[in-house]
Amino acid sequence: MSIQKIAQLAGVSVATVSRVLNNSDTVKAKNRDRVLQAIKEANYQPNLLARQLRTSRSYMILVMVSNIANPFCAEVVKGIEEQAEKNGYRILLCNSGSDIERSRSGLSLLTGKMVDGIITMDAFTRLTELAALIGDAPWVQCAEYADAGAVSCVGINDVDASQHVVSRLADGGRQRIALINHDLSYKYARLRERGYKSVLHLRDLTYQAIEYASDLSAAAGMAAMTRLLAAEPRPDAVFAVSDTLAAGALRAIEKAGLRVPQDIAVVGFDGTELSEMVSPQLSTIEQPSRDIGRKAVDLLLNKIDNPDAPTERVMMNWHFISRAST
C-alpha cells in the first residue's frame, strides 16, 4: 500500500497525507479524519526508511536478554514488545547468555545508529562492563538494578518478597526451610537469599540448607532437590527462586515417594504459567512481568526524548499466590 493509494482512498492530495503522517497542524480536521480512516481501513504502515530519514531515528530498540528460555524473561520481553509497538517502535532481540562478547556484538548496533536505545536483563555484576560498552546511549536495566548510578531500572523488592515467603512457611509450622538458589552473580539471587536468611535468623530457626542449581531448568531444580533430600534431616519446606526450579523440586519429591505439601511444602517465584500447570499447583510470588517490560520501554523512550532526564528506579508491586503446594 502506497501513500498515493491512501491519498486516493481519502480523496485528498499526497501532500495532505504526508502532512498527516508528519503530525503537521496545518491539516484541516475533516481532511485529517479522512486520511486516518483510510489508513485504518487499508492497514497502512508508513515506510520505515522514509521515517528514519525524516527524524534521524531508527525506531528500533535493542533488547538484550541473558536467557530467553527463562519464562520470566520471555514474559518481560512480551511486555517490552507490546509497549514498543504501541509507541511506533520495533525491537531487536539479542539472547546474550550473559556473555560479554555476544553483548559486544549486539551493542555494535548502537554505533551504527541502527537502534535508538537499549534494554538489558543481564546480571548485576556485568553492569560495569555493559556501561563501558554502551556509553551515553539511552539505556534501561530490567529486573537487575544498581542502587546508585546513571542507569534507570525497573524491578521488584526481592528481599521483601523472599521474606514474605519464608515467613508464611514458618507461620504454617515449617521448621526446616531450604532454599534452591541460582547464580549469585545475579542480584536477585543474592537478595532472595538475603531475605531467606534474615527470616531464619529472626525466627531463631537453626536449620539452614541452600543448594545452588546449575541453571534455571526444571532438571537443575530436580537435581538440587535430590541433594537436599539426601541430607539429614531433610527439609519440610523448600523455597525455589524460580518456578522452573520449583517444578523440578516437585518432581524430585514425588520420585522420592514423599507428598506435597504434607511432607514438604514447595514455593516458587515469578508467577509464570508453569506454576498453574504442575501438580500440585505451585504457590509462588507473582512478578508483574509484562508491566516491568512496559515500564522499561516508558523509561527508555523518555530518555530518548529527553537525554538529560534524571535516572529513575522503579519498584513494581509483587504478590503471593497461595496454591496446593503449601
Q: Quick: pLDDT tens for 272-317.
A: 999 999 999 999 999 999 999 999 999 999 999 999 999 999 999 9
Q: What is the CATH number of the domain that holds 21?
A: 1.10.260.40
User: 39 is written with which cell numbers?
Assistant: 489508513
88 plus 28 within the same structural domain: no
112 plus 130 within the same structural domain: yes
Residue 326 has pLDDT above 60, yes or no: yes
Question: Tell me: the pLDDT tens digits for 93-141?
Answer: 888 766 666 666 666 666 656 789 999 987 666 667 777 778 888 999 9
Q: Range of 139's domain?
A: 55-156+290-316
In a domain, 250, yes or no: yes
Considering its fold, how many domains does the chain have in total? 3
pLDDT bin (cut points 50, 70, 90) of residue 179 is very high
In a domain, 325, yes or no: no
274 plus 224 within the same structural domain: yes
The answer to whether 217 touches 270, Cβ cutoff 8 Å, is no
CA separation, residue 246 to residues 47, 241, 284 (Å): 47, 8, 9
294 plus 257 within the same structural domain: no
173 plus 229 within the same structural domain: yes
In a domain, 139, yes or no: yes
Please state whether the peptide bond connecting residue 235 to the residue before it is cis, i.e. omega within 30 degrees of 0.
no
Q: What is the CATH number of the domain that holds 164?
A: 3.40.50.2300
In a domain, 278, yes or no: yes
135 plus 228 within the same structural domain: no
Percent of all residues in the chain with a pLDDT value above 90, rounded to a whole number? 60
The predicted model gives 245-263 an average pLDDT of: 98
109 plus 215 within the same structural domain: no
In a domain, 324, yes or no: no
Beta bridge partners of 120: 64, 141
User: 151 is written with which cell numbers?
Assistant: 542507569
174 plus 280 within the same structural domain: yes
Residue 244 has pLDDT above 80, yes or no: yes
The answer to whether 296 touches 63, Cβ cutoff 8 Å, is no
In a domain, 322, yes or no: no
25 plus 93 within the same structural domain: no
Sequence-distant (≥ 6) Cβ neighbours of residue 163 within 8 angstroms: 195, 196, 198, 199
The answer to whether 223 touches 249, Cβ cutoff 8 Å, is no
163 plus 73 within the same structural domain: no
3-state secondary structure of 284: strand
178 plus 100 within the same structural domain: no
235 plus 165 within the same structural domain: yes
